[in-house]
Amino acid sequence: MSVDIRPVGDRALLVELPDLDRVLALHDELSAHPGPGQLEVLAAATTVLVRADTPASARALAEHVRGLDLEHAADRDDTLVDIEVCYDGEDLDAVAELTSMSRDGVIAAHTGQLWTAAFGGFAPGFAYCVGENHLLDVARRPSPRTAVPAGAVGLAGEFSAAYPRTTPGGWQLIGRTAAPLWDAARPSPALVVPGNRVRYVAVREAATVVDPEPVTAAAAPEAGGLVVVATGMQSLLTDLGRPGHADLGVAESGAMDRGSARLANAVAGNPPGAAVIENLAGGLVVRAAGHRTVAVAGARVPLRVDPPEGADRPPWIPERNSPILLDDGDTLTLGAPTAGLRSYLAVRGGFEAPLVLSSASTDVMSGLGPAPLAAGDLLAVGVPVWNAAGSPGAQVTPLPEGHARIRLRPGPRDDWFDAGALDSLTSQEWVISNESNRIGLRLEGEPLRRRRQGELASEPTVAGAVQVPTGGLPVVFMRDHPVTGGYPVIGVVEPADLDVLAQLPPESTIRFSLM
């Protein structure tokens, strides 16, 4: 098969196909029969993203894809799902005008055909559904809404979908549903998965849907563990993430600085993927309920241990990257960083927390995982599975101090930019904006210029993708990024350098260098 395969960094590839049928055929084939080293496959309107475990696997997957016969689609789960809709959307009249129909005609066209869930993306439980005809093909709104309410049902291009939770969006809203589109407690959390058939059913009323509350990580009062006294700017539970669920609209998430999280666990005597606390900019204070061994890695923060009031022991200063023995009632304080931004606190045995798709990570964009920590939370601790703290071989990565050089691989959409764009990207010093977070780092500098204008069909993307909106200022996708995006990606950051970016506070500067 002749296809256009574009590298996305060195461990993923973007396969561009001539039509949606071929997209779905490739997606279904790779889902049913994974290629060598395949980690994940995600479809979009005209492209399929394939993630691999190593650069060698990515090259092998590219050859594997070229040899596939996509003339015959694989079997899909075509379960019929009924979704009740109250047709009172804000854009119903606009859609009627765009399609030269009446309001009732739009409703009849929407309910009078079966829709097929082609692919997921954008948000957990959000399914892009394709109809049997093109009567309701409409463009997105010229200006996206900053908040589309949970349960809203909309149209965009040839697709229809319902929003599982409140998110920004530019779709034309024609109604709302109370259907439980996403429930992490179900064996299959998404109500609609790729391949399902969807029938929209008109009803007079629909309950107002509210965003689901995040699960709590707090333990029962009688349990031992660590008590959160103060959180600082932000403290979250995290681990190494939940890869493999992009089809459901779920990003991998996990620790922003993977190396520091692994180091904290190694020093505490845990497996690499045990849950830890990720603290932003210091200010975290915890008190031991029982005798605990902990470790702090990541940002260079001053540490202090205070014994309980009345104890005949003085305060003391422990070291980062070393085991810290806390007696019952001792309080550990993390001060403001003198280098770096994020610290990781591990406890021997790991923190116990409810798992969502096999991970305790808090995803700030999708709302999956435990709620952000709050003062008064008592965090339960698991049973140690290793024999000793201070694992040999744990390595400390040097922290950036206000500036870093970041390695970048061009593509997959560098051809959307003019000849000087890559030179501009690599020659100037970019400033990290104050609006940066776990979703993405916004960069300030001289805008990049496009060669191609217009809208790029939403396509899958990865952590480290440097996406360039129409204004020309790049955004580096971080751990909680959306799994699809509608702006061209000029390059992808080397995976190891994401840890470096995670430790750069706002107003720091970076320079990109091509690999």
One digit per residue, the tens of pLDDT, for the chain of length 515 reads 568 999 999 999 999 998 888 888 899 899 888 998 999 999 888 899 999 999 999 999 999 999 988 876 667 788 999 999 999 999 999 999 999 999 999 999 999 999 999 888 778 899 999 999 999 999 888 777 888 999 999 999 899 999 998 888 889 999 999 999 998 888 888 999 888 999 999 998 765 665 666 666 665 555 679 999 999 999 999 999 999 888 888 999 999 999 999 999 999 999 999 999 999 999 999 999 999 999 999 999 999 999 998 888 899 999 999 999 999 999 999 999 999 999 999 999 999 998 999 999 999 988 899 999 999 999 999 988 765 555 555 667 789 989 999 999 998 999 999 989 999 999 999 999 999 999 999 999 999 998 887 778 888 999 999 999 888 999 999 999 988 888 899 999 999 999 999 999 999 999 999 98
For 42-54, letters b (16+ CB in 10 Å) and e give: bbbbbbbbbbbee
Helix (H) / strand (E) element for 128: namely strand 127-130
Between the CA of residue 322 and those of 236, 288, 295, 316, 444, what are the distances in Å?
Answer: 22, 17, 6, 14, 37
- Identity at 357, one-letter amino acid code: L
Closest CA to 430 of 489, 481, 473, 490: 473
Angle 495-502/258-268 helices, nearest 10 degrees? 80
Q: Are strands 509-514 and 403-410 parallel, antiparallel or unpaired?
A: parallel
Torsion of CA 61, 62, 68, 74, to 10 degrees: 60
Residue 416, SS3? helix
Torsion of CA 440, 444, 445, 447, to 10 degrees: 60
Structure tokens at 286: 């915890």
pLDDT at 212: 62
Please give the Cα distance from 8 to 461 (Å, whole number).
8
Closest CA to 482 of 462, 502, 457: 462
pLDDT at 205: 75
Vertex 201 angle, CA 175 and 166, to 5°:
35
pLDDT at 208: 63
Closest CA to 98 of 156, 160, 23: 156
β-bridge mates for residue 306, sequence order: 331
pLDDT at 474: 94
pLDDT at 223: 63
pLDDT at 2: 67
Structure tokens at 324: 């810290």
pLDDT at 1: 57
DSSP string, 248-282: GT------SSHHHHHHHHHHHT--TTS-EEEEESS
Please give the Cα distance from 452 to 450 (Å, whole number).
5
pLDDT at 120: 84
Q: What is the largest CA-CA distance in the chain?
A: 82
Residue 65, SS3? helix
pLDDT at 286: 98
Please give the Cα distance from 223 to 378 (Å, whole number).
8
Is there a contact between 233 and 373 (Cβ–Cβ < 8 Å)? no
pLDDT at 318: 96
pLDDT at 69: 83
Alpha helix segments (H runs only) across 67-187: 92-98, 103-111
